Structures are given as C-alpha cells and as structure tokens.
A and B are shown apart, each in its own frame.
Chain A
Amino acid sequence: MNVRKRITIVVLANAAFTLAVLLVAPTVGSTPIALSRVFDQSMPWESNVDAQIFFVARLPRVLSGALVGAALAAAGVVLQAMLRNPLATPFTLGVSAGGALGAMIAIALGLDVGVLGVTSVPIASFIGSLVAIAIVYGLATSQKRGLSTNVLLLAGVTLNSFFSALILFVQFIADFTQAFRAVRWLMGDLDVGSYSPIVAALPFLVCAFAVFAILPRTLNLLTLGEDVAAARGVEVVTAHRWAFFSASLATGAAVSLGGPIGFVGIIVPHLVRLMVGSDHRVVLPAAALFGAAFTVLCDLVARTIIAPLELPVGIITALIGGPFFLWLLVKKS
C-alpha cells in the first residue's frame, strides 16, 4: 500500500495513453494525409495541403479538445468532492449557463469585437461565466458561515434555471440564423481554426490547474464531511473557496473555447474512480489526463463518422453518456 508508488503508476499509465491519443489523432481524419508530406520541409507552405490540414485544421482542434476535456473532467472531480455528490458536474453551479448566456447575447447582437485573435463569442462567453461565478459566490457567502456548500448548490441550480430562461428569451428575439447559430454553439465545437483561442484560454487553465495540484488530499478529507474535515485540520472555508474558484475558472475557460460539451465532466470522473478508487491524489490527475484523451477521441469520431459532414462533438459525448448512466444505474441497483 505504497501511496506514492500507486499515484506514480496510475498517472504514468494515463499519461502514456493520453500522449498516444494526442499523437495519433491529428493524423486521422476524413481526408487521408501522409505524414511524410506533412513534415516535408522542402515543399513551400502555400502548396503543402497535407501540412496545412495537419497544422491548421487538426492540431489546434486536438489541442483544444485535450485542454477542454482535461479542464472539464478535473473540474467535475473537484466539484463532486466539494459538494460531496457524485452527480455534480462542472455545469451544476451555473458557470456554463452564464457562459451560454454570454455567447447567446454576442450572437444575437451580432457583436464583432476581436481581441488578440479571439472573436466576440468566446470572449462574451467567458465574461458570462465570470458573472455567474460572482453571483453564485456572492449568494453563498455570508459573514457568519463563510461559504456554505448547500447554498452554493441551491444558488447554482437557481442560476441555471434563471439563465436558461434568459437564453430562451434571447433565442426568441434573435432571427432565424442567429437562433440556429446559438443552438449549434450549445452542442460544442472544437474546430478553432487557429492557435489564438488556445493561447488566450491557457493562462486561466494554467491557474486553475495550479490550484488543482494542491487540492487532492484536502478533497479526500472534505468528502468525509465538513466537521470531520475541520477536525482533521482542514480550513474548510478556505478549501471550499479554492475548490470553487479553480473549478469554475477551468469550466469557464473550457466553455469559452469549445462550447458547453456535456457529460465529460461526469463520465470521466466516474470511470476513473471505478478504475483507481477514490483517493483524489490519483483521481484528479488521472481524470484530467483521461478527460483529455476521451474528448479528443469523441471529436475524432464526430469529425469522421459521417464525412464529409460532421456531428457536433457534444452529440457524441451525449450518445455515450446516456447509456453510460443507464448502466451505472443498473449496476448500483
């Protein structure tokens, strides 16, 4: 029962798998390409179609898929531990609803502001997420009791309902094409087409993951209950704050990059726990790595299965998620 060894083995195994997926994914797609041509330096860039497909179309897509998957899976793990609820998802606390509202507003108003190569919809989505985070945090914090997870959950659920109503309203007043774009955004889209959105999301993701790195043992204790955790030396309110902000930031950044891709934040944590147990020092890194691989693979299926047409990646994760939950339910009963 050597904890350090266990963590190392599991993380390395996951890392190897994920690395393999990340290396293979850009080489597979609806158009056959030859790796030799991709890396052929002698061919000028303008005429090298294979290289462009690899570096302009597929590689940014794979990278954003990996980042989004890792962020959502890790955020899912953190929120499930903090809320002591295996059914919590990164979207439970209203962050993605805020992101969706931001995106809808940008689409409906036809906003066209670009900053550092990032267009208005991702920016508006991220701002929407930040607003949601502020509202939920504000509602759940009180002088007396610090941050209450019960109120956090209630506030998140309420915000989800409220923002969903607003989203419906925005779709209603938007015209036909805008409403279609809005609905399409909700299904997730990783075809970022350039590295700028990835670079823009990176600082937030790095901050979130830096916090994720120090949370795991605290998360273990938090799952035992607030009083028990406190008695074991955990500063519960501080821990809740770190968990909430890091998970919400990761979710907001992921949603602004690829849209609200559902099910990753709940399937991956569950699968990982089934495989490695509940020690968050193993679960959190493993979930992040597996989440990356899972999302990239789902996107691979999405972009090849009905070529030349594509399915939105959120549909693939939902198609996997539905039966997965049925299976979980059957297994538990």
Chain B
Amino acid sequence: MVDDVSVSLAEGTLTGILGPNGSGKTTLLRLLSGTRRPSSGRVRLGDRPLDELSRREVAQHIAVVPQETQLAFEYSAIEIVLMGRHPHLGLFTVEGPADLRIARDAMASTGTSALADRPFDQLSGGEKQRVVIAAALAQSARLLLLDEPTASLDLGYQLEVSALLKTLNRDHGVTMAISTHDLNLAASICRELILMRGGRVIAAGPTHDVLTPENVRRLYDVEADVHVHEDTGHITVVPVRRLHP
C-alpha cells in the first residue's frame, strides 16, 4: 500500500527505491509501470498520463525487470529477448531483421550474446537476470524498472548485475529505478534515492544527502555508520546495533 506519495524520476537518472519489506516499494514500482492504478492522483510519463495510454503504448516506453523469471515452458535466451519486441509488433507481424538486430544488440550490451541459443532454464542466476535485462532493453524503452534485481543472486552475480546496471545507465543513458532493500547496493550504484517506510516517502534526493545515519535509523530502526570514502566518494553503510522503537 502506498499513501500520499509524490515522486518524480528525471531522465537519465539511476534512482534507488529503498525500504524494508512491506514499505510499498513494489507497489510504487507497479504504479510507475502502470500495472496498478492509483486510487487518487495520477502517474505521468513525460506529460502524458499513463491511464490514457494502452498497455502496448506503455510497454513501448517502460520496461519492467522482475525479481525472478520462472518459465512454464522451455525457451531459448534469444527467444526470451525477442519477446521484448512484442509492443512494437503488429498483430500478425513476425519479428524481422531489424527486431533481430535490436535483440542481439541488447544481448551484447548485457554480455549475454554467447548464451543466445541456450535454454533459459539452464542458465545461472546471474545469466538469467542479464538475459531478462536484455529483454527489457530490447523493448527500446526509455525507462527501466527493476524489482529487487539482485535479491535472489549470489554475491558474485550481484556484483555482475549491479555493474551492468551502472554501465547501462552511464554509457547508454537508460533511465532506471531499482527497488531494493540492500543499502549497500543502493549506495554503490544509485545517484538518487527514495526512502520509503509504511507506504510513505520519508526522504528523497541525491544519495549523499539522503543516506545519513539519521535516515537509516528512521528506515530500519538500526543504528549504522555511514562511511564516505574520501577519494572515490563511495558510500558504505555498516550496521551497528538494532534499536527498538
């Protein structure tokens, strides 16, 4: 549930939506992607309200990467990526050479080109996420919404995927919003943060300004040290003690 929230995502930004479970992160993401309608207020893409667009049109601009993808049937990685072209294809249109090229480019940018013909189910966790990100990129969407992209991944794959996201945002200009409960992931790759608790936004702004011990306490009831590395500006959050509200 989300209550009285007002957020905006500027183009080209990489925003993290941070908060404990049940804070309304996923709901916010659903509202942003148009799969849920707000009971009051509006969601706008640029200056167009989302509810005026058809599902297809929304999908042409906004892509969603879910936390996990489970297939009921066997598909190869390239088939999954090609399905991302759906919003751009007519009813009876079959993917053409242009679509194929876009799909292959997307796979190249996520480093998954070699996996194209392999069955999706046989890929590792990290590889699967990267293929799904490629599928979202193949949608030629301006905005990518990722729901806990590294939550179910091992540390190594977490690093892999977060590095990928950072690169995509920095080098390819893809606007992203990532919902996560991992403070350090948010700290390392997000330049903007939205902190949520109990369905409300308790803070929003550039990471350096927002990620303070005070806010961490308000968010998680945890006393933490927030270190800013002198040279790189890299932020690390180290939890110290649990506080009881």
Contacts and interface: CB of A to CB of B under 8 A. Distances in A.
A231 B33 contact: yes
A230 interface: yes
B86 A224 contact: no
Nearest to B87: A233
A225 B74 contact: no
A184 interface: no
B95 A86 contact: no
Interface string B68-103: 011111111011101110110101101100001000
B100 A1 contact: yes
Given A233-B86, A279-B79, A224 B64 contact: no
A314 B55 CA distance: 43
B59 A232 contact: yes
B33 A221 contact: no
Interface string A83-96: 01110000000000
Interface residues of B, number: 36
Interface in B159-196: none
B139 interface: yes
Contact of B72 (A3, A85, A217): A85
Given A224-B69, A227-B66, A281-B94, A234 B55 contact: yes
B58 interface: yes
B21 interface: no
B142 to A, nearest CB: 14
A232 B79 contact: no
B137 interface: no
A114 to B, nearest CB: 41
Interface in A204-235: 214, 217, 220-221, 223-225, 227-228, 230-235
Interface in B35-64: 35, 54-60, 62-64
A146 interface: no
B86 A214 contact: no
A234 B55 CA distance: 6
A278 interface: yes
A223 to B, nearest CB: 5
Contact of B84 (A1, A223, A232, A279): A232
A86 B72 contact: yes
B70 A233 contact: no
Contact of A217 (B56, B86, B100): B86
Contacts of A221: 83, 86
B55 A225 contact: no
Contact of B73 (A3, A227, A278): A278
A42 to B, nearest CB: 48
A60 B89 CA distance: 41
B72 A84 contact: yes
Given A4-B94, A281-B94, A232 B69 contact: no
B75 A232 contact: no
A278 B139 CA distance: 21
A318 interface: no
A235 B35 CA distance: 10
B58 A1 contact: no
Contacts of A7: 94
B100 A233 contact: no
A80 B72 CA distance: 9
A217 B92 CA distance: 9
Given A231-B59, A232-B87, A234-B86, A278 B74 contact: yes
A233 B60 contact: yes
A277 B74 contact: yes
Given A221-B83, A234-B86, A214 B91 contact: yes
A282 B55 CA distance: 25
A232 B73 CA distance: 18
A51 B16 CA distance: 77
B64 A231 contact: yes
Interface string A222-257: 011101101111110000000000000000000000
Q: Which of A7, A220, A225, A231 has the most CB of B within 10 A?
A: A231
B33 A217 contact: no
Given A1-B78, A217-B86, A231 B35 contact: yes
Nearest to B68: A225
A224 B87 contact: no
B72 A232 contact: no
Given A4-B94, A217-B89, A223 B73 contact: yes
A224 B55 contact: no
Contacts of A4: 94
B92 A214 contact: yes
**A-B interface, 10 closest residue pairs, ranked by CB to CB distance from nearest:** A233-B59, A233-B87, A231-B64, A84-B72, A278-B73, A233-B56, A4-B94, A223-B72, A232-B86, A235-B55
6 contacts: A1-B78, A85-B72, A224-B69, A228-B64, A273-B73, A277-B79
Interface of B: 33, 35, 54-60, 62-64, 66, 69-76, 78-80, 82-84, 86-87, 89, 91-92, 94-95, 100, 139
Given A1-B100, A228-B64, 18 more contacts: A1-B78, A4-B94, A84-B72, A217-B86, A217-B89, A223-B71, A224-B83, A225-B69, A231-B66, A232-B83, A232-B86, A232-B87, A232-B139, A233-B86, A234-B55, A234-B86, A273-B74, A277-B79
